[in-house]
Structure 1
Amino acid sequence: MKILFLFTAGLMFLCTSTDGSASMRYVNARAVPSTDHYLDVVPIEEALTSSVMCVKLCATDVRCLSINYHKNKTCQLLDTFYCKDDTYVLKPKSGFKYMDVDFNRSPDVSI
């Protein structure tokens, strides 16, 4: 059993549909507090961007469940997460932060 203490940050995104209606989507990104670690899996996407844009990229990709982010602005979108089972390992690597991303904690709010 894996037990983690997590730091949580929330982001709000304004989403507009094709019919012109708008809704807000709340996204939680939780960073494991140990620094300089990454989830050792093959990323589904990789980009050079800010940490906020990295979370936004994950929010727009239905496959994305977590993120490895490096201080050199490397964003890796991952299709799994650390606590899924015991096969996934956080490995030490300088400059990395690993974040779980939770899209279902707060419902959409129509505006």
Structure 2
Amino acid sequence: MRYPASEKLEIIRLVEESHLSAWRTLGKLGIPRTTFYRWYDRYLQRGEAGLQDQSPKPKHVWNRIPDTVRRKIVKLAPKETELSPRELAVMFTDKESYFVSEASTYRIL
């Protein structure tokens, strides 16, 4: 279940002000301790802004083939029409000293 930032803040304040231990308070609320402490750490570091939902999507893909390399492969393919994607990948790797797999070459073309 997703909680809005205002509800997360309310839960944090409730746990802080409770006369019960954090463990018992969270147990009564049905919130896992790991989830609460993740929220609490973000709240301490960034304030209320840290409680906003964050996209789990990475900002960039670490193994994405750069556009410059993609353009070079597309440019090379019409010159070497008799080559399969596998052979084209090997030729590109030899020529440019940049490894591109057969599958990636096939997807690019």
Q: Which has the higher strand share?
A: 1
TM-score (ref. length: structure 2): 0.20
Task: Report 1 or 2 for greater relative contact order, CA contacts < 8 Å, sequence distance ≥ 6.
Answer: 1
Q: Which has the higher helix share?
A: 2
TM-score (ref. length: structure 1): 0.20
Larger Rg: 2
